[in-house]
Amino acid sequence: MANSVGDIGVSLSRQKQVLIGSILIAGLCSIIYELLISTTASYFLGDSVRQFSLTIGIYMAAMGLGSWLSRWIKGDLLSAFIGVELILGVIGGLCVPFMYLAYAYTDLIQPVMVLLILLVGTLTGLEVPLLTRILEHEDILARNLSNVLSLDYLGALLATLAFPFLVLPFMGVFQSSLAFGLLNIALGLLNLWYFSPQLNLSRKRILGWAGFLVTAFLALMLIFSKGLLDYWSSSLYSDRVVHRQQTPYQTIVMTQYKDDLRLFLNGNLQFSSVDEYRYHESLVHIPLSQHPAPSRVLLLGAGDGLAVRELLKYPEIEQVTLVDLDPAVVELAANDARLVELNRGSLSDDRVTVVSADAMVYLDETREPFDVILADLPDPNNVSIARLYSREFYRLVRQHLAPGGIFTTQATSPYFATDAFWSIASSLEAAGFESVTPYHVPVPSFGDWGFVYASTAPLTPQPIEVMTRYLDQAVVGEALTFEKDLFPTSEAKVSSLDRPVVHEYYLEGWSYWH
């Protein structure tokens, strides 16, 4: 009799362990789904702060809805919990594929995102009350609730740590979605197998067949995920995709049509090989011609090596330090034959030093002065990048300029995002630069594109003495002239870390054209 009681006690203890372990895995999977949804939305829609804010708010509200709905679930709670896990695994596993489809073939990417968050959040909200009620025969309610919540929160912590360091770098958003969907389904099937003697036979069969079918479906999608990604990527880009790579920082895609090689980061065009020389010559040679003897140059961004190619035309330049956040971009530009041909192997030059770091962090940590600093950074389409167009960032840049030094930044389009362009110029003036000169050139792939160069001393335009394909003195003169409709209707505000108005201006300006 004593042994029977002991066996029952051990059995109940093991059941509790299985359920407790289920809480941990379920909490991890749910947070991973939300991170995948918001990250994918940021790739397609930009404005990461908005996407993550929407995700957190809707997810928490949906969890509350799920908790409230759980009161209506009565009877076989184990079957209900297993069913929730299977459904959550399917929806979570397919959340990224659904968003790819919505972006590629419809204009409903934002509604689809919201719907997915609602579904995942509601199902997640059902888990904690169900598990708490299942465990109620094991211990008092307060202890059960604390156990369930603590394990759920621990799972969330593990998810937030694993996502940026393991999940995204090694699998990318598409495969991660399918893999964690399978993990969620496996969790449901584990509970189905372990608690099989306690379940109704008909429900057990239904759950078993459902689990088998959805596992097979997601497994097949995972096996053929590369082909699916190639197909959907081709639908997202007008030309043939010749390279696709997911890094911890972004999605890198290269396309090619005949002689036109294009690079995209998170879906945003970085250059087209047919006209990139217009952009890079304007970024580099207009400011460089103003400096009498540029020997040390700092290049922020520009991991593709194209701006470096233009810098190396100056024999007096002894050192080029390239600081790019994503080492994968630099590695691609240094090793891909198509890019090496385009940038003329500039990243292999002995004068070039590559540093993988955030531009602002690098400037904060280094004390080295530079004669010229060039910022070839992405547009301020999210708050994280907008800080690199702030008054505070430009003050940091100014501190690293040697006497007579010059700074130049790309400044988006004065036509498409007029207020953002002039806000950048205003922010440079507010940072203490004495001479601030905006200019713009036509780049067919981008339209009318703007730049601003600045110095702590007055500058006078000088002739460009290196070989160029596009720039000459007549073009430079036109670049310094702005038509009436390229000026803002009111004074553009200074962008700061606290109030990144350049981001607001940018979104407002481009929203119509997108």
Catalytic annotation, residues: 376
Amino acid identity at 283:
L
CA 364, chain centre distance (Å): 23
Query: What would the 3-class secondary structure string for 97-157 be?
Result: HHHHHHHHHCCCHHHHHHHHHHHHHHHHHHHHHHHHHHHHHCCCHHHHHHHHHHHHHHHHH
Q: Which residue has the tokens 């949804």?
A: 37
Q: How far apart are the first and last CA of the chain?
A: 75
Is 498 annotated among the ligand-binding residues? no
Pairing state of beta strands 447-455 and 435-443? antiparallel
Q: Is residue 66 classed as helix, strand or coil in its secondary structure?
A: helix
Backbone φ, ψ for residue 465 (5° rounding)? -105, 0
CA 359, chain centre distance (Å): 17
Question: Can you tell me the distance from the alpha carbon of 423 to that of 229, in angstroms, rounded to the nearest whole number?
Answer: 39
Is 359 annotated among the ligand-binding residues? yes
Is 198 annotated among the ligand-binding residues? no
**Beta carbons of 283 and 451 less than 8 angstroms apart:** yes
Is 250 annotated among the ligand-binding residues? yes
Nearest Cα neighbor of 359 from 414, 398, 329, 397 is: 397
Question: Can you tell me the distance from the alpha carbon of 232 to that of 221, in angstroms, rounded to the nearest whole number?
Answer: 13
Is 379 annotated among the ligand-binding residues? no
Sign of CA dihedral 56, 62, 68, 72: negative
- Lookup: tokens for 222: 């995972």
Neighbouring-strand partners of residue 298: 321, 373
- Lookup: tokens for 10: 């051990």
Dump strand ranges (E) for 302-459.
319-324, 352-356, 370-376, 401-410, 435-443, 447-455
Is 514 annotated among the ligand-binding residues? no
**Beta carbons of 95 and 36 less than 8 angstroms apart:** yes
Question: Can you tell me the distance from the alpha carbon of 313 to that of 261, in angstroms, rounded to the nearest whole number?
Answer: 23
Residues belonging to the binding site for spermidine are 280, 304
Residues belonging to the binding site are 250, 280, 304, 324, 358-359
Residues belonging to the binding site for S-methyl-5'-thioadenosine are 250, 324, 358-359
